[in-house]
Structure 1
Amino acid sequence: MLKRMMIMLGVVGTVFAALAWFVNFRAGMIRQAMAALADPPQTVSTTTAVLSDWQSALTAIGTFRAVNGADLSLQQSGIVDSVHFESGKDVAAGDVLLDLRKEDDIAKLQSLQATADGSAITLRRDQGQLKINAVSQATVDSDLVNERNALALVAQQQALLEQKTLKAPFAGRLGVRQVDVGQYLTAGTAIVTLQALDRLFADFTLPQQTIDQVKVGQEVVARIDAFPGHTFKGVVQAFNSKVDQASRNVQVRAIFDNPDRKLLPGMFARINLSIGHPTSYVTLPQTAIVYNTYGDSVFLAVKGEAAGKQELVARQTFIKTGATRGDQVAVISGLDQGVTVVTAGQIKLRNGTLLKVDNSIAVANDPNPAPADQ
């Protein structure tokens, strides 16, 4: 009897053991199935929200021009007799640059000078004769008019002669010569450009609503593609006296010292004018912001429980954004410094999505970006 009971208990134990194994087996399969149905980790890039010094600024596109600059030409036509300059050289004010042939003009000047000298002699002789009443006052008056007319013709011819010589009207650097010896020039033909490079203007436009934020004497910073990483500083010199009716923009002129003469007239420049008072904001790349009509937000990468392990998951949080500068945006509220923020890949995310971080490709985060030369 006792032996039979022992056998039955063994059978019952075996049944329960088999049943327990079956339940655990099914539970494991269910967990595997649920894990297979869960969303796979999404690859994103991240950055740490940092507190940065922030200075609001106005930006504009400007063009440099010389304080003194001109394309030099002559008022008279003629054949080039001699050239006294080399392309690209510096010259002083008054330096002779070019002469046209002047033989005929010189001969005519000498003829007119001789006529003037004869008129002066006649005037002096008749003035002496007038004292003894040998000639009338009318004769002396006529001699005086003749002398003045002759001297005026001499002066006129002298001016025409001087107009066949090109002189530098101011000190500066010459450009490339456009004429050659023996060439016939018509009046007004450009011979060479002359630019004073010690100081340059930068002309740009600003919207009319920003004019109250900019003052004469305010510092201006210019960046030139030709000199990446280098800035040039100037000051606002003047505003145009009217606003353009088509664009509602006003022209602003800044002046820059150019002692090393790196800046050249015609150069394109990106102009920055700092406005307001400097402050600090949590700063993010603009790519990190999810813009929506109901509010701007970002996704944070936070630690969460998933399959019993510590994994990074996405958590959406709403923020208030402020001004932008280059690739960056200021976060006024809703975000603490030091948190990890998703900067790329947000379109695939929702709250609780598992994250896989890959920062091998840097996200644009330059406060003063410039396009790369192609």
Structure 2
Amino acid sequence: MKVIDGRPALPEPEAHERLPAPERDERASPEGARDRTPFWRRRGVLIGAALLLLALLVLFFLLRGGDGGEEQGQPPPTVSVEEARRVAWNDQLSAVGTLEAIQGVDVTTELGGTVEEISFENGTEVEEGELLVRLDTSTEQAALAALEAQRDQARLAYDRQQRLIERGATAEADVEAARATFEGLAAQAEQTRAAIDKKTIEAPFSGTLGIREVSLGQYVGAGTPVVTLQQIAPIYVNFELPEAAFGLVEGGVEVELQADSFPGRTFAGRITAVSPEIAEETRSVTVQATIPNEDQALRPGMFADVTVLLPGERQVVVVPQTAIARNAYGTAVYVVGPPDPEEQQRQRERGEAAEEEDGGFLGGLLGGGNGEGQGGDASDEEPGQARSGAGQRRGGNAADGQNARGGEGGAPAETGLVAKTVFVETGEQRGLDVEVTEGLQGGERVVTAGQLKLDDGVAVTIGDQDAGEGATERPAVP
């Protein structure tokens, strides 16, 4: 064993295990390995790296487009607004009433008989005492004639007995018997005459007839309806109010009535009676009002919406019904106005954070060779100023586009506003207006159309047709 520098040397390989020097040098050389790498494999690595870089760039621009699309490409939603108004409303009570005729009956017969004459037309006006129907009275007329003859004969016998009693030629009992016979026959004649009169049916009062329910030659029994007669000018409306309103209503208070049969028309009247008792089942009081109904438009049996106009008035804030949005969190409206300073600061901070994120991401992608150029550009201008300038450029372009779009329809649309969610409490609804008891003070501009596109704090554009004071004014409901 050989010793070199005090250390045992490794044994040399056998002769048959040694490689020729040229082959050993070629395998150990890196240049030889690169020379032996296939060309297609080196080119594939370059193409893969380029595709990966391209994919990262596409992803970056997609993400940037999604974050800034609202600011750069899409304009704020356009809405219609109307001002919350302060108006004076009269105190009032609402109820559902039923119309009832002043007088209304089904004209019937008291005695049976055959219909001999019908003297009216369906649906006509009649006066009190006017003939309606006459039944056959031939039998009663014959009986009346016989009774009248017997009555006359009994009258003569009674007179004879009176002359005899004066001379003392007859007894007092005979005189009384003759008188009784005469009076009995006279009463029977009157009874028969009354039966004849009852078979002549007349109008009990002036009014409007309905449709007849009998025909000529028909036999009708006692109590059979012949025709309906209603007095409907004026007409009553009966309705119920809660017990708490008992002390508020009295005779002479004005009421207004609306019926589904006459949309848009209001009938006026006055309270004429209030029930003196409260219903135990419903704890309500029955009230009756009288409506003139000169044109007889209202008819008995109709349902009507009744409004009792109480004395006194109050100041309320009203908004259009379309401005009210109801959801699981409550009742709210969108109020349009300029953003407050805190909101503007939050928007600027969000924009700066987005710019920093976008710049860092892009710098990380491009990095390396582009770093010097970017650094040189950034040295000329502070990063915050650069981002602010870019934001101003984007804002200016968006504003120009909005003004251009607004100019197409005439006056430019009002911009630079945001919609804020304001939760409110509502009260009465009169016509198209809703009372707001809490949440608004009056004068705010509320969104009346386009709420589905809004969220709290989102930027909006007011359409030129409803912007500012140009909004259509609607008359206040008293």
Q: TM-score, normalised on structure 1?
A: 0.79
> C-alpha distance in 2, partners of 1:353/1:44?
12
Select which of 182, 186, 191 maps to 2:221. Answer: 186
Distance 1:33 1:72 in 2: 82
Is contact 1:327-1:367 (8 Å) kept? no
The residue type paired with residue 419 of structure 2 is A
What SS class does the counterpart of residue 458 from structure 2 fall into?
coil
Find out whether 1:169 has 2:274 as its counterpart: no
**1:47 deviation in Å?**
2.7
| 1:108 Cα offset (Å) | 0.7
User: Where is the helix percentage greater, Structure 1 or Structure 2?
Assistant: 2
Q: 2:436 is matched by which residue type in structure 1?
A: V
Q: Would you say the 8 A contact 2:335–2:446 is kept in 1? A: yes
Aligned to 1:238, which of 248, 252, 273?
273
- Counterpart residue number, 1:353: 458
Instruction: Return closer, same or farther for 1:244/1:358 CA change in 2, 3 Å cut-off.
Output: farther
- TM-score for both structures, normalised by structure 2: 0.63
Provide the rounded CA distance (Å) in 2 between the counterparts of 1:367 and 1:87.
Answer: 45
Q: Which residue of 1 aligns with 2:182?
A: 147
Which amino acid counterpart does residue 152 of structure 1 have in structure 2? A
In the other structure, the counterpart of 1:255 is 290
1:131 to 137, 148, 166: 166
How far the C-alpha of 1:282 sits from its partner, in A, is 1.9
Q: Is the 8 A contact 2:95 2:239 kept in 1?
A: yes
Q: Which residue of 1 aligns with 2:443?
A: 338
SS, match of residue 152 in structure 1: helix
Written as runs of structure 1 = structure 2, the 5 A alignment for 1:1-374 is: 32-36=65-69, 46-289=81-324, 297-304=332-339, 308=395, 309=399, 310-343=415-448, 349-355=454-460
Distance in 2 separating the partners of 1:118 and 1:182: 37
Question: Would the alpha carbon gap of residues 293 and 367 (structure 1) be closer, same or farther in structure 2, given more than 3 Å must change?
Answer: farther
Partner Cα separation in structure 2 for residue 127 and residue 357 of structure 1: 112
**1-side partners of 2:476 and 2:150: how far apart?**
76
For the aligned residue pairs, the C-alpha RMSD in angstroms reads 3.3
| Structure with greater Cα Rg | 2
Is the CA contact 1:98–1:166 (under 8 Å) kept in the aligned structure 2? Answer: yes
Runs of 5+ consecutive residues of structure 2 not aligned to the other structure: 1-59, 348-393, 400-414, 466-473
Quote the offset at 1:356 in angstroms: 5.9
Q: Could you tell me which amino acid in structure 1 is paired with residue 445 of structure 2?
A: T
Query: Distance in 2 between the 1:155 and 1:367 partners?
Result: 70
Is contact 1:79-1:185 (8 Å) kept?
Answer: yes
The one-letter code sitting in structure 2 at the alignment partner of 1:86 is E
Aligned partner letter, 1:300: V
Distance 1:346 1:150 in 2: 92
Query: Secondary structure of 2:264's match?
Result: coil
Separation (CA, whole Å) in 2 of partners of 1:77 and 1:32: 95
CA shift digits 1:128-158 (9 cap, x unpaired) = 1111122111221222222222222122111
- Measured in 2, the distance between the counterparts of 1:229 and 1:294 equals 35
Q: Is the 8 A contact 1:66 1:201 kept in 2?
A: yes
User: CA separation of 1:30/1:295 partners in 2, compared to 1, >3 Å: closer, same or farther?
Assistant: closer
| Contact persistence 1:326–1:367 (CA under 8 A) | no
Contact 2:257 2:304 in 1 (8 A): yes
Structure 1 residue 237, shift from structure 2 partner? 0.9
Distance in 2 separating the partners of 1:98 and 1:264: 25
3-state DSSP class of the match of 2:215? coil
Q: CA deviation at 1:239?
A: 1.7
Deviates more, 1:271-280 or 1:64-73: 271-280
Shift of 1:80: 0.7
> In structure 2, what is the Cα distance between the partners aligned to 1:367 and 1:130?
94
**SS of 1:69's equivalent?**
strand
Say which is worse superposed, 345-354 or 118-127, in terms of deviation. 345-354
Moved more, 295-304 or 188-197: 295-304
Counterpart for residue 51 of structure 2? none
Q: 1:29 to 1:110 in 2, by over 3 A?
A: closer
Partner SS, residue 225 of structure 2: coil
Q: Is the 8 A contact 2:99 2:236 kept in 1?
A: yes
Answer whether contact 1:326 1:366 (CA < 8 A) is retained: no
How many pairs align?
339
Residue identity in the other structure for 1:143? A
Mapped partners of 1:132, 1:29: distance in 2: 143
1:164 to partner: Cα distance = 0.5
Contact 1:40–1:354 (8 Å) recurs in 2 = no
User: C-alpha distance in 2, partners of 1:248/1:92?
Assistant: 42
Q: Which runs of 5+ in 1 are unaligned?
A: 1-26, 369-374
